[in-house]
Structure 1
Amino acid sequence: MEESNTDQNQLTIHVVASTNSSEFTHLSWALSHSSVVGLDAEWKPIRGRQLTFPAVSLLQIACRLATASRDDADSEAVFLIDLSAVPLPSIYELLRDVFESPDVLKLGFRFKQDLVYLSSTFCSQGCEPGFDKVEPFLDITSIYNHLQNKQPGRKTKETKSLATICKEVLGISLSKELQCSDWSCRPLSEEQKIYAAADAHCLIRILDAFQVKVLKEVNSLQNTELHSSNLDPGLKQILVEPYNCSKILRTKFGEALQMVQATITEIPCTIPTGGGGISGKPCRNTISMNDTLSQIVRKYGDKIFLKESDRQPRASKKKGKKQSSVRVIHNGRRVENIDDWQGSAPWDLSLGGDGCPKFLCDVMVEGLAKHLRCVGVDAAVPCSKKPETRALIDQAHKEKRVLLTRDAKLLRHEYLIKNQIYRVKSLLKNEQLVEVIETFRLKICEDQLMSRCTKCNGRFIQKPLSTEEAIEAAKGFQVIPNCLFNKDLEFWQCMDCNQLYWEVRFRRLKRAQLMLQMFGTDKIAT
């Protein structure tokens, strides 16, 4: 049985790569006994114009059993179905039954596009007519909007990312570093498995928080006491103690892997004994959803229905010729391989710079900007949320910065200035940080660590504030938890945005030691 075990306190991830396996048996049984499933899909990133839909490489399904509570050992399981390995006709009916079953609430985040790609992928393998309906369905964005509408003064309709929703609703950090990785490559890395499982599993956790809100509304309307039998055990704890235990890594230098692992807890699943795959349709549990889920479906439930027009790829409306290779023109001549850094940076003293490394990180590497700030490097982000390419280049040139990106298309623009842009090759933020430090031969002084505000890139005050000074500085601006006042803390404040930071002194020293180990003594000037 192929499983990915992150550690003792985390959920076991089941990878389904064959119908003649215990993993497939487990999947079939779990789907036939689940009242809630979280759905997500992954595919190879689309590059340039596409005349066909991309083939889905991985389907993630997080299951919540119909008769189990959240704290039961057998309540949940996460399955990663390798669609490049499993014969699609052998699982087509199983998935279609789940998508259309009235006994299973399906959760997703903007899942219509995923369903379009899934349907196209299965049709290409002879599974006509593919998938055309998911019902009952709840989009996590809708759940988030319902939660926000109950808060006074929150009228914004701005579309939030899944990571933002997880942060606001659950208080957890959901890393999206591997979103654009190549999901068609095999074998999948451990980081990819954990990332994929977390994306599906967090949907169920968001529903948990929503259920609590719905129950409170019912209690308020009926003016009756809420019986404990109607409430999933453990959900109160999610709201009372929103992941403030040791499972959540609070250090800014924690690996992205650990941040994602913090969103899932190990719940080993017990499956029926028996070997090999399961043929035919599974026998669905006749137990219906509980009262709370039924009420949510009746009041907030929706469905995804694909029209014929949804099944046709839309032609790109962009005009202009596409260059065949990554080249730019500089002073009348073509410059090859601009993504391989050569020459002097714009901050170089010989070019009239001030000698201080400065970068501009576009939207694809915003996480790298925060990591650079943590080691004291000046790392700005674009002035607007969706800047034009020309605006990015102008800002970098004006401020003598190197533009960092993962978008190869940026390198095709002919008005780029030589040594103005660098394409980051690594996917993980920690690896991107090491890549930039090595490429530009940056020397990081120990005094630089944690010297910049990760929020705005501003500088910290020269010396830490006392507890009394911090309390005064935070009035009307920021709340300092009372539990911090009995600890040996250092308080630091950004001189630009006034954001307060605090840290136990010995942790600051420990963090410096970790940085020394991460980059090596040749990159840290002591």
Structure 2
Amino acid sequence: MDSHIARPAFEIHLVSSIDSPEFTLLTHTLTRSHLIALDAEWKPLQTPDQHSSFPRVSLLQIACQFHSDHRNDSVAFLLDLLSVPLSSIWHLLRDVFVSPYVLKLGFRFKQDLVYLSTTFSSYGGGGVSGLDRIEPFMDIASIYYHLQHKQKGRKLHKQSKSLTAICSEVLGFSLSKELQCSDWSVRPLTEEQIAYAAMDAHCLLEIFNVFYSKVLKEGDVLRNVSAVPSTEMNTGLRVILEKQDMHEKILRTKVSEASNIIRATASGFPQSMANIRGICSASSSINCMPMDEDLQKVVKSYGERIILKESDKKPKTSKRKSKRSSTMKVGCIEKQIVSDEDWHGPPPWDLSLGGDGCPKFLCDVMVEGLAKHLRCVGVDAAVPFSKNPYSRELIDQAHKEKRVLLTRDAKLLRHGYLLRNQIYRVKNLLKNEQLLEVIETFDLKISEDQLMSRCTKCNGRFIQKSLTTEEAVQAAKGFQKIPNCLFDQNLEFWQCMDCHQLYWEGIQYRNAVQKFIDVCKLND
């Protein structure tokens, strides 16, 4: 996959003004949505600014799912918090975040909520407090845990998977994270940033739908949660529901008020009548119709809440005994990191060091996409043996295989004394730019003949002799299926000597070759 992120098929609306049609559509969509997904983007702070010790959130993504024409539709809104006055949207977001009729989804969203809360309290103007609560809420990490726990019958650690890995496993596609660290404070946003931000929120809806279907199919909710007793259903509410000619707004307000009375009575949480009516006062902006029975049961079984304490909104301070000595130590480390970011060479494959002259790299998980790009241009690029390696494991592998370790993790540069001339911090974010950076830094010689000469799957070399169709079919038996449409095209096949993966010169191959000819400027 190249660095260009295609615009997703679902609708995306960038909301940069409360007077815009996009904002009107957002508020209208929230009146129809029982399920929304939340995400946030910000520019990381190098040093605390005068307003807050936390980053200012630049963009809030709200992906909404609603029922339309007997099917579920979805749309993603990108709320530009640098353009929209925060005081004008605070009430709307607060009401959505605590509405009992809207299930909120997120991925380890507590940190995002901390940054949102401090953004509103620091930049929202007088009288605007932070957003401190979300309920009902479901964490996608917990949803994945429930799916895998039931499927595999063993206990899994809830924090062990990234969103990219969960998307790949549950939805079958890879979620690109290349733009995660881009500068979200710069306007206008690029098309790639817009597509990335929207997909980050929308994929949460897709993962939930897989979970929701599985739970309903297995009847877990029906076994775990008993139906709401009929005694809790207010008689007046039935009468209101039966009067179809009543104005929609009045109906929603009455249903909302009656349902909140029931909720306040049945849940055991003390609420005053003023608080109950307060939730319903935003009925024109958020959905005040009760969820369907199945979704209510899912919420009751698996729903959570996020409530921030004052301590959450304060930066964590160091508890070391000697503040001065620790500050001096950190300062020394930072100077070392700055000085070691540039490549000093020579690399371990250099002939003067007894090497074979063939460049070899080890790409850690932060630049795993770069490894595939390097393989595509014929460069030996390995990845760590384990999925979550310790620094010591990376160092040992680089030493043993005489590779240069490529990373974006500044902390790894502290091990420069162990990996002398064997560690380099990649500065660019996008894979194409990273590839060019490595080619230039290490003076790599790339030719058209080298393109697609390594296995992108395992980094192995191809068998030198190309295979006939008959040989390829024999080699693929019990291992890989060759599409029937290829048999009449007189194509050449290659096979990896290590993992035995088969490749052929089809449209994808030719497109990939042309792409790297252009990226590496081989025709110039």
Name the TM-score, length of structure 1 as normaliser.
Answer: 0.75
Is it true that 1:210 corresponds to 2:211 in the alignment?
yes
Matches of 1:42 and 1:17 in 2, distance apart? 15
Structure-to-structure mapping, 1:169-188, within 5 angstroms: 169-188=170-189
Match of 2:109 in 1: 111
Higher RCO, Cα 8 Å, sep 6+: 1
1:181 alignment partner, SS class: coil
Match of 2:431 in 1: 429
Give 2:330's match in structure 1, choosing from 322, 326, 340. Answer: 322
Match of 1:167 in 2: 168
Deviation at 1:95, TM superposition (A): 0.3
Cα pair distance change 1:284/1:393, threshold 3 Å: closer
Deviation at 1:299, TM superposition (A): 2.6
Matches of 1:168 and 1:486 in 2, distance apart? 32
Deviation at 1:436, TM superposition (A): 1.5
2:88 alignment partner, SS class: helix
Match of 1:307 in 2: 309
Q: Which amino acid aligns with 1:84?
A: L
Q: Which amino acid aligns with 1:212?
A: S
Instruction: Check the 8 A contact 2:27/2:285 in 1, yes or no.
Output: no
2:331 alignment partner, SS class: coil
Match of 1:28 in 2: 27
2:417 alignment partner, SS class: coil
Query: CA RMSD for the aligned pairs?
Result: 3.5
Deviation at 1:386, TM superposition (A): 4.7
Name the TM-score, length of structure 2 as normaliser.
Answer: 0.75
Q: Which amino acid aligns with 2:116?
A: L
Deviation at 1:465, TM superposition (A): 5.0
Cα pair distance change 1:341/1:62, threshold 3 Å: same
Match of 1:135 in 2: 135
Matches of 2:487 and 2:147 in 1, distance apart? 35
1:136 alignment partner, SS class: strand
Structure-to-structure mapping, 1:390-401, within 5 angstroms: 392-393=394-395, 395-401=397-403
Cα pair distance change 1:491/1:103, threshold 3 Å: farther
Deviation at 1:26, TM superposition (A): 1.9
1:78 alignment partner, SS class: strand
Match of 1:18 in 2: 17
Match of 2:41 in 1: 42
Cα pair distance change 1:98/1:356, threshold 3 Å: same
Matches of 1:309 and 1:108 in 2, distance apart? 22
Matches of 1:487 and 1:327 in 2, distance apart? 62
Q: Which moved more, 1:38-47 or 1:424-433?
A: 38-47
Matches of 1:509 and 1:386 in 2, distance apart? 34
Deviation at 1:315, TM superposition (A): 2.3
Q: Which amino acid aligns with 2:75?
A: A
**After superposition, what is the alpha-carbon deviation per residue over 1:128-184, rounded to whole angstroms, capped at 9, x for unaligned?**
542222111111122222322343566543621111111111111210111122222
Deviation at 1:207, TM superposition (A): 2.0
2:10 alignment partner, SS class: coil
Instruction: Check the 8 A contact 1:62/1:76 in 2, yes or no.
Output: yes
Match of 1:149 in 2: 149
1:184 alignment partner, SS class: coil
2:34 alignment partner, SS class: strand
**Aligned length in residues:** 451
Q: Which amino acid aligns with 1:174?
A: L
User: Which runs of 5 or more residues in structure 2 are unaligned?
Assistant: 224-280, 321-325
Cα pair distance change 1:501/1:304, threshold 3 Å: farther
Match of 2:458 in 1: 456
Matches of 2:151 and 2:388 in 1, distance apart? 28
**After superposition, what is the alpha-carbon deviation per residue over 1:255-289, rounded to whole angstroms, capped at 9, x for unaligned?**
xxxxxxxxxxxxxxxxxxxxxxxx98734444332
Q: Which moved more, 1:284-293 or 1:484-493?
A: 484-493
Match of 1:123 in 2: 121
Identity %: 60
Instruction: Check the 8 A contact 1:327/1:412 in 2, yes or no.
Output: no
Cα pair distance change 1:345/1:522, threshold 3 Å: farther
Instruction: Check the 8 A contact 2:34/2:101 in 1, yes or no.
Output: yes
1:287 alignment partner, SS class: coil
For the pair shown, the structure with the greater C-alpha radius of gyration is: 2
Deviation at 1:383, TM superposition (A): 4.2
Instruction: Check the 8 A contact 1:181/1:427 in 2, yes or no.
Output: yes
Deviation at 1:357, TM superposition (A): 0.9
Structure-to-structure mapping, 1:6-405, within 5 angstroms: 10-47=9-46, 52-67=53-68, 69-70=70-71, 75-124=73-122, 125=124, 126=126, 129-152=129-152, 155-157=155-157, 159-218=160-219, 282-316=284-318, 319=326, 321-323=329-331, 327-328=335-336, 337-341=339-343, 344-387=346-389, 389=391, 392-393=394-395, 395-405=397-407
Q: Which amino acid aligns with 1:109?
A: F
Instruction: Check the 8 A contact 2:37/2:204 in 1, yes or no.
Output: yes
Cα pair distance change 1:466/1:221, threshold 3 Å: farther
Matches of 2:434 and 2:16 in 1, distance apart? 31
Instruction: Check the 8 A contact 1:327/1:411 in 2, yes or no.
Output: no
User: Which runs of 5 or more residues in structure 1 are unaligned?
Assistant: 223-278, 330-335
Deviation at 1:122, TM superposition (A): 1.4
Instruction: Check the 8 A contact 2:447/2:522 in 1, yes or no.
Output: no
Cα pair distance change 1:388/1:167, threshold 3 Å: closer
Q: Which moved more, 1:47-56 or 1:283-292?
A: 47-56
Q: Which amino acid aligns with 2:97?
A: F
**After superposition, what is the alpha-carbon deviation per residue over 1:195-254, rounded to whole angstroms, capped at 9, x for unaligned?**
1110001111112222322332249989xxxxxxxxxxxxxxxxxxxxxxxxxxxxxxxx
Matches of 1:121 and 1:312 in 2, distance apart? 13
**After superposition, what is the alpha-carbon deviation per residue over 1:32-78, rounded to whole angstroms, capped at 9, x for unaligned?**
2211111001122355899933222211101112555546xxx3221
